[in-house]
Structure 1
Amino acid sequence: MARSLVEAEYQGVPVGFTEDGWFNATKEAERFGKSPHEWLRLPATREYLEAIERRYGKIPYVRTSKARLDRGGGTWLHPRLAVRFAQWLNVDFAVWCDEQIDAILRGEHAHFDWKRTRSETTSTTKVMREVLRLVRLDEGKTTGPHHYMKEAKLVNWAVSGEFKGLDRGSLALDELALLASLEERNAVLLGRGIGYDDRKKMLEQHALDWRAGHQAKIGRAA
């Protein structure tokens, strides 16, 4: 079954949850030299699962995929079981899992900040492209793919220092946020009729100011 994974790091190792809090018990048990089937066979586990079903109803609280482990295979546990299973593995790991699942179910995990920001860049890109088209239309010019690409590469340069395409899916949250801010700023500058060379300087300065402000926020939070 296809799953969109929320990844977090525990002691430097990535741990995957689904966006609704499910947990790959097989993968995480390996690091502790255990197997979820051992835990599922325990009388206390069966008793607990029966109690959950009495309370919340009989649904698939345990799911198994025959896919390769690195492709989402293994035994997956519902969030109502995940922390109890994690306690069997390691109590410190269980506390950490509880925090991650709680943040996921509340929609407060950093993963969701990334998704919201990624969606925002889709909107700012559309706005920037439309402003470019309208400005050129007012000048009696048509707008082709190379014009849009030129603006995209300009913004990408302000983010990465290189005039090339960016894989937005691989950008960190702060890079995505900066990209959205730059596209928004570039749309405003285009609308004001500011030329390419001047916009390049202004976007470079905007990126520097944005990063300085971002670092200052991190410093205050620390």
Structure 2
Amino acid sequence: MKMRKIVTHEYDGTPVSFDMEGWMNASHAGGLFGKEPGHWFGLDLTQQYITGLASRRGVTLETLMVSRRGNERLRGLWLHPKLAAKFARWLSIDFEIWFEDQVEALTSRDAVAVQAARRQASTSYRSLCEALVITHRAVGKETKAHHYMNEARLINEVLTGVFQGRDRNQLTIAELELITLMENRDVLLLGQAKGYSDRKVALSEYLGQLCDGRVQHYGQLG
């Protein structure tokens, strides 16, 4: 289960934790009704469903449920949205309906966030292209199509270790945000008349700073 933003929603005044993909803290939910997730897992129909879902998705059972440690929001058994929906129905019909409403709201917001991240990345790339033109023009050099592509590939190489393009429609919000930050930093480096090699070194150092900051942030969440 990937680390994603954790949010809490209240059901009858009691908080239940979700992540932005619709995973739910089943320990929280079960506690609302005085029921243990383990009792639900012991049902034959539950075992049949879990086995069938894992087979259909081509995944292991362990990828559909995760026990997590940490603070009150994180601690407990987390269920894949498909399992969480079945578990919610077992708890109560009203809770199932409430659960469906929360997941719908989460996924809708996530879709909006993805579009916003793509727009930001598109804007930062345009700024990077303009910076290339200005930089080249200052030394009497014409900016050609491969210059734009190579600059994008430079950033991708720093991020992934591979000098090639990436389909941004397939990237996550976190990846898009990271590319946006890297492109904005590259614009500054071009403005300082840094050469290709120097920009690569500086971008690598900047990535290290960003990653260190994120590790510290997630450590605080746990």
- TM-score computed with the length of structure 2 as normaliser: 0.57
Shift in CA distance, 157/90, structure 1 to aligned 2, threshold 3 Å: farther
State the number of aligned residues. 142
* Residue of structure 2 equivalent to 1:21: none
Q: Deviations over 1:61-103 (max 9, x none)?
A: xxxxxxxxxxxxxxxxxxxxxxxxx969955543322212344
Distance 1:163 1:175 in 2: 16
User: Which of the two has higher C-alpha Rg?
Assistant: 1
Distance 1:125 1:112 in 2: 20
Task: Confirm whether residue 96 of structure 1 aligns to residue 111 of structure 2.
Answer: no
* Residue of structure 1 equivalent to 2:175: 175
SS of the residue aligned with 2:21? strand
SS of the residue aligned with 1:8? coil
**Which structure 2 residues correspond to residues 28-67 of structure 1 after superposition, within 5 A?**
none
Distance 2:128 2:146 in 1: 14
Distance 1:114 1:208 in 2: 24
Shift in CA distance, 93/205, structure 1 to aligned 2, threshold 3 Å: farther
**Which structure 2 residues correspond to residues 65-214 of structure 1 after superposition, within 5 A?**
92-103=95-106, 109-214=109-214
Shift in CA distance, 210/140, structure 1 to aligned 2, threshold 3 Å: same
Q: Counterpart of 1:8 in structure 2: which amino acid? A: E
Q: Which runs of 5+ in 2 are unaligned?
A: 1-19, 25-48, 50-87
Distance 1:123 1:162 in 2: 23
Q: Deviations over 1:167-193 (max 9, x none)?
A: 111112211111000000001101110
SS of the residue aligned with 2:142? coil
Distance 2:96 2:165 in 1: 39
How many percent of aligned residue pairs carry the same amino acid? 28
Distance 1:138 1:176 in 2: 30
Shift in CA distance, 121/164, structure 1 to aligned 2, threshold 3 Å: same
Q: Deviations over 1:135-155 (max 9, x none)?
A: 101111101011111111001
SS of the residue aligned with 2:113? helix
Distance 1:122 1:208 in 2: 23
RMSD: 2.8
Q: Counterpart of 2:97 in structure 1: which amino acid? A: A
Is the 1:159–1:175 contact (alpha carbons within 8 Å) kept by the matching residues of 2? no
Q: Deviations over 1:29-85 (max 9, x none)?
A: xx8xxxxxxxxxxxxxxxxxxxxxxxxxxxxxxxxxxxxxxxxxxxxxxxxxxxxxx
Shift in CA distance, 90/204, structure 1 to aligned 2, threshold 3 Å: farther
Please report how far the alpha carbon of residue 218 of structure 1 lies from its aligned counterpart in structure 2 after TM superposition: 2.1
Q: Which runs of 5+ in 1 are unaligned?
A: 1-6, 12-30, 32-85
Distance 1:104 1:172 in 2: 14
- TM-score computed with the length of structure 1 as normaliser: 0.57
Q: Counterpart of 1:110 in structure 2: which amino acid? A: D
Is the 1:155–1:179 contact (alpha carbons within 8 Å) kept by the matching residues of 2? yes
